[in-house]
């Protein structure tokens, strides 16, 4: 009997990140300075990012060496297993072969740690004392908290208020790893105070928490800002997922027909699929499906336009799929997928027709997650359930395909959401077309 789980030996963990920009079919529209409306320069980003990450944001080389200290941290949990989901296959009575890449085995429980250790390392080497960031579901905040303590840095996390109250144990984990955590909107920043004065019950959003974290970094000289998704360098760090998966599929004697991942800002999905893009450009028949919530349908209902990454309009303008920077998402349980924008690299791949997108309703994703948990034993994060749902849909078509999805994280801190699902209290929410159109009116004009 073949091994069900393929783990690469330490010596075979990829030593370089892959930069899809080197093989891009066309030029990625540059990030724009919101004041001058000119392409961003490295100096524009210097107040909140270290120069090494700014260089990575703009790098054109195909391969980027992973520093030894980052590799040393990554090897705490990497390689991550690629597992054949034989028990799920049996339950579905499908002739598809389903594999999942298990990113839930990292200390923080998701893929987010892949970039957190790299970002903390580069900031540390440039003398930065503290990192500020936002978190939705808490996966990113806890990843950065772990990475900061590993490299001897302080960490401040602005956690979207609705998650801060719904997920108290994510907050505890961040505190164990030494981070300070504030519910956002918070009285800690000028922008947070302004929002609270207008609406004391504001439940927060990722866009709003980003504004607070950016303000914190911009107003403290020893502090930089760190983002858990969207930007090119974050996607670069996540390519270790896809690079490992490629090697593991080779070991299993398989070729993927369909790659599936959930998308919030786009980092786990892009990290998983972009190492396969060169094969696709050379003619390989691989479908790549990005799955988002119907409640936050950035790609499937948004516009491909320049927009801000945050609510207070502090960030550069990025050309991306967006629902508008003042989009207030409904309180669905996949907190990490409630972002109005999408990584420019991924948006571009969608625009070029290399990646397709689907949206799914909340209850169906939990149903898929529960079936996965009953058959394969792992409780998936609500975000990852979106990928599982579409993997199951594809497997049910019985086309004998090799389907590979990225299990971006576990759901051990999401049990109250599972309780709500099991008690029949979860509601489906489809973001109305009219609201999407209204929010898009405020997208800035760029020639």
Residues forming the site for ligand PLP (CB under 6 A): 110, 136-137, 139-140, 229, 262-269, 336-337, 381, 383-384, 408-409
Report, in Å, the least distance between residue 36 CB and ligand PLP.
29
When the beta carbons of 214 and 263 are compared against ligand PLP, the nearer one is: 263
Report, in Å, the least distance between residue 408 CB and ligand PLP.
3
- Who contacts 415 (Cβ-Cβ below 8 Å, separation ≥6)? none
Residue 41 tokens read as 């320069």
Q: What is residue 268's three-state secondary structure?
A: helix
- As a whole number of angstroms, the distance between CA 264 and CA 173 comes to 22
- As a whole number of angstroms, the distance between CA 215 and CA 195 comes to 14
When the beta carbons of 89 and 264 are compared against ligand PLP, the nearer one is: 264
When the beta carbons of 265 and 316 are compared against ligand PLP, the nearer one is: 265
When the beta carbons of 49 and 269 are compared against ligand PLP, the nearer one is: 269
Q: Could you give phi then psi for residue 106, rounded to 5 degrees?
A: -70, 160
- As a whole number of angstroms, the distance between CA 318 and CA 113 comes to 24
Radius of gyration of the chain (CA): 20
Cβ(414)–Cβ(333) under 8 Å?
yes
Report, in Å, the least distance between residue 334 CB and ligand PLP.
8
Please give the distance of CA 96 from its chain centroid, rounded to a whole number: 27
Cβ(393)–Cβ(291) under 8 Å?
no
Report, in Å, the least distance between residue 210 CB and ligand PLP.
13
Please give the residue whose beta carbon sits closest to ligand PLP in the complex. 336
Strands 223-225 and 130-135: parallel
Report, in Å, the least distance between residue 43 CB and ligand PLP.
27
When the beta carbons of 156 and 238 are compared against ligand PLP, the nearer one is: 238
Residue 212 tokens read as 């607070």
Largest separation between any pair of C-alpha atoms in the chain: 64
Closest CA to 113 of 84, 62, 67, 78: 78
Report, in Å, the least distance between residue 261 CB and ligand PLP.
7
Report, in Å, the least distance between residue 325 CB and ligand PLP.
17
β-bridge mates for residue 224, sequence order = 131
When the beta carbons of 320 and 337 are compared against ligand PLP, the nearer one is: 337
* First vs last C-alpha separation in the chain: 60
When the beta carbons of 299 and 440 are compared against ligand PLP, the nearer one is: 299
When the beta carbons of 192 and 261 are compared against ligand PLP, the nearer one is: 261
Closest CA to 316 of 130, 47, 119: 47
Neighbours of 278 (CB within 10 A): 14
- As a whole number of angstroms, the distance between CA 28 and CA 173 comes to 38
- As a whole number of angstroms, the distance between CA 297 and CA 173 comes to 30
- As a whole number of angstroms, the distance between CA 117 and CA 227 comes to 12
When the beta carbons of 280 and 338 are compared against ligand PLP, the nearer one is: 338
- Who contacts 196 (Cβ-Cβ below 8 Å, separation ≥6)? 185, 186, 187, 202
Report, in Å, the least distance between residue 68 CB and ligand PLP.
26
β-bridge mates for residue 182, sequence order = 158
When the beta carbons of 89 and 332 are compared against ligand PLP, the nearer one is: 332
Report, in Å, the least distance between residue 37 CB and ligand PLP.
27
When the beta carbons of 32 and 342 are compared against ligand PLP, the nearer one is: 342
Report, in Å, the least distance between residue 26 CB and ligand PLP.
23
Report, in Å, the least distance between residue 207 CB and ligand PLP.
14
């Amino acid at each position: 009997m073949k091994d069900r789980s393929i783990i690469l030996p330490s010596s075979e963990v990829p030593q370089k990140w892959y930069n899809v920009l080197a093989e891009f079919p066309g030029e990625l529209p540059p990030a724009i300075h919101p004041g001058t409306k000119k392409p961003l320069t490295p100096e524009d980003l210097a107040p909140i990012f270290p120069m090494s990450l700014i260089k990575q944001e703009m790098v054109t080389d195909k391969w980027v060496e992973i520093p030894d200290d980052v590799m040393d941290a990554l090897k705490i949990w990497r390689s991550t297993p690629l597992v054949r989901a034989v028990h799920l296959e049996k339950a579905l009575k499908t002739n598809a072969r389903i594999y999942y890449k298990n990113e839930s085995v990292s200390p923080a429980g998701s893929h987010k740690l892949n970039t957190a250790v790299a970002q903390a390392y580069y900031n540390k080497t440039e003398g930065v004392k503290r990192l500020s960031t936002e978190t939705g579901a808490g996966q990113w905040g806890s990843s950065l908290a772990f990475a900061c303590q590993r490299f001897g840095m302080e960490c401040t996390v602005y956690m979207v208020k609705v998650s801060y109250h719904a997920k108290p144990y994510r907050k505890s984990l961040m505190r164990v790893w030494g981070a300070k955590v504030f519910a956002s909107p918070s009285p800690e920043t000028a922008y947070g105070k302004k929002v609270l004065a207008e609406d004391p019950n504001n439940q927060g959003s990722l866009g709003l928490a980003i504004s607070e974290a950016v303000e914190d970094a911009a107003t403290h000289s020893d502090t930089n800002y760190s983002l858990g998704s969207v930007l090119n360098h974050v996607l670069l760090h996540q390519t270790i997922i896809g690079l490992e998966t490629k090697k593991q599929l080779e070991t299993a004697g398989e070729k993927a027909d369909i790659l599936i991942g959930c998308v919030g800002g786009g980092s786990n999905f892009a990290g998983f699929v972009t190492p396969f893009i060169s094969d696709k450009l050379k003619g390989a028949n691989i479908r790549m499906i990005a799955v988002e919530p119907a409640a936050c349908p950035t790609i499937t209902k948004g516009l491909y336009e320049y927009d801000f990454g945050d609510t207070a309009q502090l960030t550069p303008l990025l050309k991306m799929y967006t629902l508008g920077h003042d989009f207030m998402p409904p309180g669905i349980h996949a907190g990490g997928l409630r972002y109005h924008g999408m990584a420019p690299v991924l948006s571009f791949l969608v625009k070029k027709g290399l990646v397709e997108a689907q949206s799914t309703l909340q209850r169906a994703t939990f149903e898929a997650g529960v079936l996965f948990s009953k058959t394969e034993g792992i409780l998936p994060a609500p975000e990852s359930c979106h990928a599982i749902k579409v993997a199951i849909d594809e497997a049910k078509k019985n086309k004998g395909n090799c389907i590979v999805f990225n299990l971006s994280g576990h759901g051990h801190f999401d049990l109250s959401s599972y309780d709500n699902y099991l008690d029949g209290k979860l509601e489906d929410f489809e973001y109305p077309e009219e609201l999407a159109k209204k929010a898009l009116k405020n997208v800035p004009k760029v020639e």
